Amino acid sequence: MSRVQAMNVARSGLSWWPALLLATLVLLAVFAPWIVPVDPDRQNLLGRLKPPGFEARGQVFWLGSDELGRDVLSRLIYGAQVSISVAFLSVALSGVVGVTVGMIAGYLRGTVETVLMRLVDIFLSIPAILLAIITVAVLGPGFINVILVLALTRWPRYARVAYGQTLALADRPFVTLARAMGAATPRVLLTHILPNIAGPLLVVATLEFGLMVLFEAGLSFLGLGVQPPTASWGSMLSTGRSYVASAWWIATFPGLALFLLVLSANLIGDRLSDQIGKGR
């Protein structure tokens, strides 16, 4: 076997694990109420800051306990529920807005194109995390507001991709024919253009998923995301930084979970990008 063949075999053998890891984290989030060892908000002050594996009153703290004696494992699982829910909903909302704007601008051209794409340029010129922090500070923290803020800051990326892809398809024969046969603009966009640009948009959505997880964790770390006592990886990291020397597990395990979730999403996005590139 040549070196190239060996590398291809190794790559194909390792390509499944990001999807398996992401699926595992999603399942943990979905079934969190049924699989957590104990209520994530249950306090046990006599068992505070206990290391992984400690047992107290018949309860085993598999990943240790935090400063209030709450089980880190239970809070980590519920934190996955928050992070994945926020990421999924914000990706869906920003994708719908951005794709709609991009397709309309690329298809209608003219003044509509100029106005919409300059609006996209304005949003892209503002640092996303800064815009998110300012908007959350105005609207207030909370689950719904975080989703709206993340969607507001990230829709221009979808718009850019949808705009470029639509421009490339707008003058293709099958689109021109549909227009000549009297198809309305919404029908042309939804039936003829959107299915042909779905691949690149799916890649963007996959990569944005990991970024949304990081943004949500960053906002929660700053106290602008999901509010206590609701478990969030970002808030767990914020709490754990004060106990790094004495209780390293409080920050380490949420940080590791964030790393694995974002890594798996990015690897899946890269894999999708390679497959779409090969298919063209």
Q: Is 243 exposed, middle or buried (0-12, 13-18, 19+ CB in 10 A)?
A: middle
Q: What pLDDT shows up at residue 2?
A: 43
* CB distance 65 to 72 below 8 Å: yes
| pLDDT classification of 77: cutoffs 50, 70, 90 | very high
Backbone angles phi, psi at 80, to 5 degrees: -65, -40
Q: What pLDDT shows up at residue 17?
A: 85
Could you report the per-residue pLDDT of 167-205, keeping only the tens digit for each? 988 888 888 888 888 888 889 898 889 999 998 999 999
Q: Mean pLDDT, the chain, as a whole number?
A: 86
Q: Which one-letter amino acid corresponds to residue 101?
A: V
* CB distance 80 to 29 below 8 Å: yes
Q: What count of other Cβ atoms lies within 10 Å of the Cβ of residue 81?
A: 22
Distance CA 239, CA 224 (A): 14
Q: What pLDDT shows up at residue 5?
A: 39
* CB distance 88 to 147 below 8 Å: no
Is the pLDDT assigned to residue 159 strictly greater than 90? yes
Q: What pLDDT shows up at residue 156?
A: 93
pTM of the model as a whole:
0.87
CATH of domain 64-279: 1.10.3720.10
Is the pLDDT assigned to residue 108 strictly greater than 60? yes
Could you report the per-residue pLDDT of 26-75, keeping only the tens digit for each? 999 889 889 888 888 888 888 888 888 888 777 788 898 888 889 999 99
* Residue 265, both tokens: 């999403």
Burial 206-222 (b: 16+ CB within 10 A, else e): bbbbbbbbbbbbbbbbb
